Structure 1
Amino acid sequence: MSENFDDLDQKKQATDYDDDFEERRRLRRQKRKQQVMIQRIVVLCTLVLVVGVAVFISSQTLFKSSTSPKNAASSTGTSGQQASMQQQTEPPVQTETSAPVEPVTEASVSPAPSSSDSSTLEQAKLLAMGYDYDGAIELLKAVPNYESNTEITAAISDFETQKASCVAVDVNTVPHIFYHSLVNDPGRAFNVSVLGQGTVDGMNAWMTTIEEFDKITQTMYDNGYVFVRLRDLVVESTDANGNVTFSPNTSLMLPPGKKPIVLSVDDLSYYHSYELAGFPDKLVLDENGEVKCHYVTADGTEQIGDFDVVPRLNTFLKEHPDGAYKGARGMIALTGYNGVFGYRTDSDYETRDNLLEDQSKWLSEHPDFDRSVEIAEATKIAEAIKESGWEFASHTWGHLSVTNKTVEQLQTDNEKWVNNVRNIVGPVDTIIFAHGNDIGDWQDYSPENEKYQYFKSAGYNYFCNVDSSQPYWVQIRSNYVRQGRINLDGYLLYKSSQGGTTVLDNMFAASQVFDTRRPTPVVANGES
C-alpha cells in the first residue's frame, strides 16, 4: 500500500514525533534557565533599590543636621571653633555616606544571588532525583561564578559521584505494564442489575480499581521500579535520506537496585458505555492548569480530582520524583470513534453518519454540541498531558482486531485516526494494538508482511501487543521496535492471587493487591 503515500511525507512523519519531543525538552530546559536569570536580576535590582533609598535617607539626615540652629550658631564662632566643628562633623558624614554606597560593588552583592542560587540548586536536585545528572550539572554550571560557591560545587561533585555509580540497563529485559481506566465505585461498576452480567464481567476482567492501582504503584516504587519511555530503550538514528534505524541503548543508566519499566494506558476516551459504571466522564484542567478528572458521584455530586491513571500517577510522581527516569510517565493509546478524553471530537458526531445508539442518545441530550469546541478543549488537554511527560499512541480508530482485518481495512481505519485523533494529539510513531493482538507472530516482522509494510509506510516504528505469559518480551530490530505488555487488570490479578501465574511476582504480590470487593471468580475476557 506504500504507493498511496508520498515518500517525503512519510519520512517527515517518521521524525515529527521525535522533533516535537526534543523541542519540548529543550524549551523546558531553556525556560528553567530564563527563570533563574530573572530571579537573579530581580534580587539584584531590589538590593540596589534598597541601597539607594538608604543613601538618600542618610544624606537627608546629614543635611538637616548641618542646617539646624545649633550648627548655624556654631558657624558664627571663631575660625578655631569652625575648624573644631568641622573635625567633629566630617568623620560622621564620611562614615554615613560611604557605608551604604559600598555595597553596590560586585563584592558587596555576593549575598544577593543566594536566594536565586538556592532555587537553582533545588531545581538541579530535582533533575538529579530523576536521574538527569547531566541536566542538573549543566544547570548549576550556568550560574555565574559557580566555582566560588561551595554549596554549588559540592552539589556538582555529588551528582558526578551518583552518575558514576549508575549501571547500564539490559534493555532487552524491560517489562511493559498497562491499565485501562480505574474503577472508582465498585458498587456501580459491578452492579449486574444496572449494567447486565456481560458488562459487569467485562469491567471486572479488564479494569483495575483505584485501591489496587495505589497499592501496585506504591509497592513497585518501594521495590525499586522506575518508569522509562519505550523510546529510552533504543538509540534512534536518521540518515541523510530520512531513513530511521534502531539499536539497543547501552547508555540507559540507573543506580544499582533500580529497575526500569514501561507503562501504557488504553482507551482514555471515556466511552459512552462507561456512563453508568462510575467512571470519570472527562479530563479537565484545574486552576493550576494540571490535568484532572471530572467525576460525578453516585449521589450526583460533581468533583474534580485524581480519579484515573494520568492525574493519579502525576500526583504520585511529584511526591516521588525518583520513580521516573527524566520525567517519564507512560503512553496513552487512543481510539477515536467516541472522541478522546471524554470530548466528542469524532467527525461522525458532526455528520451524524454511522452513529451507534449511545452516540445518538448523547447528541439528543446535548443539542448545543459544537465539534470545533470539543476539539479545542481536547487539544488543551492533550498539550497539558504531553507537558507533564506523557506520550500518545494509536490504538486504531475503531478499536480493531488487526489480526483478522485486511490491509485495506487497516488503511481506512488509520486514515480515520489521523483525521480525528492525530489532529488533536500531534504526530505519533507508536501503535498499540487493540485486543492485545498483533500483525505477526513472535518471529520478526518480515518484508513480506503487508500489514507491517503498510503501518511502517504510515510512520509507525514502535509496535506493542499483549503478552502476559512472561515477565518481559522485547524485539529491537534495525527497522522497528516491538514490545509485549502485561495487563494489570482484574483477571490477571485474580489469576496471580490464586497461584495461576508467577508473571507478576517480581513486581508485587497479587494476593496483597487484589480488591476483595470484586465478584469472583474473575473470568477471562469478560466471558462467563
Structure 2
Amino acid sequence: MANHLYVRSTRETRSRLHSVLLLSLAAALVLASIVLFLIARNQQSAEIAQADFETALEAEDYDKALEIYREVQANAVQPLQSGQVENPYQKTLAELESLLSGRLEAIENQLFQGQSLADADQAFILGLGELSSLRLSRFVRDLSRSYLMGETEYKILSLAIEQLADLPNLKDSIQPLSNEYASWPDLKPAFIAADQMLLQQQWYEAFAAWSELAQTAGSGTFVQDFARQKLESCKTAMYQPLLDAALDLMDQNRAVTAYGQLQQLQAVFPGDRAVEAAVEECSQQIPRKLVTFRGAIEHLVIKPLIVDPATAFDGDPYAAAAFDTMLTTLEFARVLDALYANGYILVDQTRLMTGAGERFALDLPEGKKPLVLVLEGLNYFATRRETGNCWDLQLDEAGYVCGVWPGPDGDLIIRREAEAIGILDAFVEAHPDFSFDGAKGLITLSGYEGVFGLVTDPDQLDDKNRALAALGYPELVLGPADYEANHTKVMEITRTLQRTGWQIGTSTYGMINLQNASLEQVESDWAKWQAQIEPLTGPVKALSFPNGAVLLADDPRRQFLQSQGIRVFSGLGATPYIVRNDNTVYTDKVQVSGFSLAHPGLYRLERFFEASLVIDQEARSLFNG
C-alpha cells in the first residue's frame, strides 16, 4: 500500500512540473512575440517618420517637419527595449540630419559665392527654427573670422550678414555682427599681420599684436573674442618652443641670455611652475655682479693656424706668407693665456648693437674688458696645404670640430687642437670666466674653393681643381652625391659651431677687393653667396672687408650690402675703433700674425700681451726667409 501511494505521488509531481514547464514556455513565446512585435513596430514607425519628414520638406510644411524631427530626436535617446540590438530611431535621426545638412550646405555654398538666397531658401531657414539657426550662425561667424584673416571678400561677408540678420531665428546671433562688421576693414590688416608673425614664429610680436587687438576699444565683442581666442592659441604655440630655447641656452652656458628670455616668458606666463623653476635655476648660473663697461671694445683677427711648421717654413714660395700672416697653434694658445691673465673676456659681436643697429652698454663681470675674436679664411684654399694649415674641418666621434691634415706618413690626422676653434673651445671649458654668456668668436667665410675645406658646388670645383693642379695635387672628381654629402657635413659643422658660441659672418663670396669692384660685381658676388653658402650657414649679419679694403657709409656698394642684412662691417686698424651709422656698426680689427708679433709696436700689442712671450721660436727658426 505504501509503495502504491509513493508511485502515485511521484507521478503527480512530475505531471505538475510538466504543466509548469509548458506554461512557462508558452508565456515566453508570447513575450517574445510581443517584443518582436514592438521591435518591428518601432522599426516601422521610425521608417514612417523618415518618409513623413521627407514629404513635409518637399511640401514646405516646416512646422510638420520640425515636429517629426523633435519626436524622432526624443525617441532616439530612449533606452533599448528588451531584445533590441540598436535603437532604430538613432539611424532615422542620422538620416534626417543628413537631409538637413545637405540643404543647409547648399545654402552656405550660395552665401560663400556671394549669391542672393531665393525666397524658398529663406523660408526653409526660418521654418526649421533652431535646426538651421545653430548651423548658419556658426557659418556666419566662421565667415567673419575668414574675412578678418584675409581669406574672404568683404562683399561676400556683407551680403551673408544682410540676408540672415533679419530672420527671426537668426536675429539674436547675427544682428550683433551686423552692428559691428562695418569697422572690420580697418582691423583686417592687423589680424593678418598678427597671424603672419605667429606663422613666422615671431612669438612676442604676435603675442603683443593679439593682445592689442583683444583690447581695441570700440572694435566690438566679436572681434575682441576672436582676438582673445587667437591670443590663447598664440600662447599655447609659443610656450614650449620658448621654454626649450631658454633651457637649451642654459645648456650652452649662455645663462645671461637665457635669463633675459625666461623673464620675458615669465611675464606672459606668470605663476607657471616650469618657468619659475627655470628662472630660479638660471639665476644661480649668471654672474653675481655685473657692471657697465664704457671703454673700447677690442677686436682681434687671426687667420688659419699653422699646425705643421715643417711644411709651412720649408722655403717654398708660400713660406714667407705663412711666416708673416699666420700663427702657430702654440702661439695662439699662448695668446689666449695672456688675454685671460690680462682680464679680457670674450663677447658676441651682436652685443655691439640692438636690433635697430644701435650700440648699447655692455654689462660685464667687474674688472673684465670685452674682446671680440674673429677667425678669417677657414675655407682652406688649396694653397693652405703649402702653408702648413689644416686641409679641412670635420667632426670627430665626440662631436668636436677638429682640424684635418696629413702626417709625415701621409695618413690623415684629426685633432681638436689643430685649429683655433678647438683650442679656444677647450680653453673656455677650463676657464669658463673667459667667455661672457658662452661667447666664442666670429668666423668669417668666403665661398671660394669651398667651405671649411669642403667643395659644395660645381662653381667652386673649377677653382679648387685649378689650384690643386698648379700645386701638383690630383684633381677632385665630384658628383651630385658628393656635393650633397658635403652640404650635410658643412651644415653639421655650422650647427655645432653656433650651438657652442660661435657666429658665422662673411668675407664676400670670392674674397673680392670691394674698393676695386663695381656695384654690379658686388651684386654678382653676393648672389653667389646667397645661392651657394647661405643655405648652408643661414643668414649672416657681419662682413669683414677682405684685406681691409673698406667702403664708406655712403658708398652704394656698402648700402647694397646693408640692404642684404649686413649690420656689422669691419676693417683693420691698430687701435679700437667703433662708429654707428645708419643702423650699422663699423669696427676695426687688430691683426695678430707673425708680422705683428715681430713688430708689436706698430699694432700696439702690448695692451693685449707681451709679444716676445708668445712667439714660437722653435717653429719659426725653421724659416730661412
Same fold (TM over 0.5): yes
**Structure 2 residue 557 is matched with structure 1 residue 454:** no
Aligned twin of 1:290: 400
State the partner residue of 1:481: 585
Contact 2:598 2:611 (8 Å CA) reproduced: yes
Match of 2:38 in 1: none
The aligned residue for residue 9 of structure 2 is none
Q: Is this contact kept in 2: 1:348–1:355, CA < 8 A? A: no
- Residue 202 of structure 1 is aligned with which of 321, 339, 344? 321
Matched AA of 1:410: V
Per-residue deviation at 1:517? Answer: 3.6
Opposite residue 191 of structure 1, the aligned amino acid is D
Q: Say which of 379, 382, 393 aligns to 2:491.
A: 379
Structure 1 residue 143 displacement after superposition: 7.3
- Is the contact made by 1:337 and 1:346 (CA closer than 8 Å) also made in structure 2? no
Structure 2 SS opposite 1:344: coil
Instruction: Please name the residue that 1:46 is paired with.
Output: none
Question: Is the Cα contact below 8 Å between 1:131 and 1:322 reproduced in 2?
Answer: no
Cα drift, residue 288 of structure 1:
2.3
The whole-number CA distance in structure 2 between the counterparts of 1:420 and 1:411 is 14
Give the residue type in structure 2 aligned to 1:509.
Answer: E
- Structure 2 residue corresponding to 1:257, chosen from 367, 385, 392: 367
Deviation at 1:450, TM superposition (A): 1.3
Distance 1:316 1:27, change over 3 A: farther
2:609 alignment partner, SS class? coil
SS at match of 2:587: strand
- Residue number in structure 2 paired with 1:30: 244
State the 1:207 CA deviation: 0.5
| Distance in structure 2 (CA, Å) of the matches to 1:348 and 1:145 | 49
Q: Normalising by structure 1, report the TM-score.
A: 0.64
Give deviations 1:99-125, integer Å, cap 9, x for gaps. xxxxxxxxxxxxxxxxxxxxxxxx799
Residue 448 (structure 2) aligned to one of 334, 337, 344: 337
Select 2:429's aligned residue among 318, 330, 333.
318
Aligned to 1:179: 302
Structure 1 pair 246–126 and aligned structure 2 pair: CA distance change class (3 A)? closer
Task: Give the gaps of 5 or more residues in structure 1.
Answer: 1-11, 20-25, 36-122, 237-244
- Ranges in structure 2 where 5+ consecutive residues have no aligned partner: 1-195, 204-239
Percent identity between matched residues is 25
C-alpha distance in structure 1 between counterparts of 2:526 and 2:276, whole Å: 52
1:269 and 2:388 equivalent?
no
Q: CA deviation at 1:408?
A: 1.2
Indicate conservation of the 8 Å contact 1:235/1:247, yes or no.
yes
Distance change >3 Å, CA 138–CA 396, structure 1 → 2: closer
3-state DSSP of counterpart to 1:356: helix
1:476 maps to a residue whose letter is: R
Return the index of the structure with the highest Cα Rg: 2
Please state whether the residue corresponding to 1:451 is helix, strand or coil: helix
> In the alignment, is the contact (CA less than 8 A) between 2:246 and 2:258 conserved in 1?
no
Compared CA separation, residues 247 and 289, structure 1 to 2 (3 A)? same
| One-letter amino acid of the counterpart of residue 402, structure 2 | K
Contact 1:247 1:478 in 2 (8 A): no
Matching of residue 223 in structure 1 with residue 342 in structure 2: yes
1:518 Cα shift?
5.6
| 474-483 or 366-375: bigger deviation | 366-375
1:107-154 Cα shifts (integer Å, max 9, x gaps): xxxxxxxxxxxxxxxx799656x797667999999877999xxxx98x
Letter in 2 for 1:452: R
* Structure 2 CA distance for aligned equivalents of residues 332 and 278 of structure 1: 20
Is residue 242–residue 265 contact of structure 2 (8 Å, CA) maintained in 1?
Answer: no
**In 2, Cα distance between the equivalents of 1:125 and 1:353?**
38
Aligned residue number for residue 70 of structure 1? none
Aligned partner of 1:512 in structure 2 is 613
- Structure 2 matches for 1:86-485, cutoff 5 A? 162-163=287-288, 165-170=289-294, 173-192=296-315, 195-196=316-317, 199-236=318-355, 245-250=356-361, 252-306=362-416, 307-349=418-460, 352=462, 356-358=466-468, 364-369=474-479, 370-440=482-552, 445-446=553-554, 449-468=555-574, 470=575, 472-485=576-589
Distance, in Å, in 1 between the alignment partners of 2:252 and 2:541 is: 32
Q: Cα deviation per residue 1:354-397 (whole Å; 9 max; x = unaligned)?
A: 96342688995433553222222222211211111111111111
User: TM-score if structure 2 supplies the norm length?
Assistant: 0.55
